[in-house]
Structure 1
Amino acid sequence: MKQQPRDLVQNITQPDDNLFSELGFSDGEAARLQAESDREIALLINMKKQMMTEIAQWMQAQAIRQVDAAAIMHISRPRVSDVVNLKTEKFTLDALIGMATSIGKKVHLVVE
């Protein structure tokens, strides 16, 4: 007899749960790791927003329509709309860097 799917799932972590606690870390360590993870995620989101804002400002300064910007950046027009509307979850940082360089922007990464 085939095993039922419910037998395969032993633990489901809810979105607001601390994954590090679920993995067995002590409460203090789990809280520290969660806080560090949250900071890194916030930093990444801020970098994405900065890239998206640069692209949107370039479009505005050049009076370029989304369809024309899409052709220049080699992406679809709806993707340009997602950039302009800061939908960070739809893009990787490297994809945004590629878009920025395709419009002539220079991107510098500083690691401290």
Structure 2
Amino acid sequence: MKKMDTHVRHVTKPGANLFAELGFAPEEARRYQAESQALIGQTLMLKEQLMDELASWIEAHHLKQAEAADILHVTRPRVSDVVNKKTSKFTIDTLVEMLARIGKPVKLVVG
């Protein structure tokens, strides 16, 4: 069995422009960084909206997290992550599935 090389050769510092570090021209790196940040922001906003809907449903039905977990087919800690808006722990698909399970199908509108 061949030994896997796991040596870290470079670490990008937080806040650094990854595109610049990859060797893109400065103006191009700034543009890609800005576009990337905009897409990340849009994704986070969408996840937060979906989580708000789930949290509102839980509250409106006066459910304990364990009860909500049973209905949503997830663990109680997953419900806690939704309520506490831990967006990094979920994909949009997962949140859409959870909403569908409670009779709140998601409709996408492109503006």
Q: How high is the TM-score relative to the length of structure 1?
A: 0.89
- Alignment correspondent of 2:100: 101
Where structure 2 has 5 or more consecutive residues not aligned to the other structure, the ranges are: none
Q: What letter is aligned with 2:97?
A: G
Q: Deviations over 1:31-76 (max 9, x none)?
A: 1110110000000000000000000000111111111110011000
Amino acid at match of 2:93: D
Structure 1 counterpart SS, 2:58: helix
Divergent runs of 4+, >4 A: none
CA distance in 2, matches of 1:77, 1:34: 37
- In the other structure, the counterpart of 2:32 is 33
Tell me, which stretches of 5 or more residues in structure 1 are unaligned? none
Aligned to 1:50: 49
Could you tell me how far apart the structure 2 residues matched to 1:107 and 1:77 are? 23
Cα distance in 2 for partners of 1:73, 1:111 equals: 27
| RMSD, matched Cα | 1.9
Partner AA of 1:56 in structure 2: A
Equivalent position of 1:19 in the other structure: 18
d(CA) in 2 for partners of 1:25, 1:109: 35
Q: Distance in 2 between matches of 1:75 and 1:108?
A: 22
Look up the SS of the partner of 1:99 in the other structure: helix
CA–CA distance in 2 between the matches of 1:28 and 1:109? Answer: 34
Aligned residues: 109
**Aligned-partner SS, 2:103:** coil
CA distance in 2, matches of 1:40, 1:64: 34
TM-score (norm 2): 0.89
Sequence identity (%) = 50
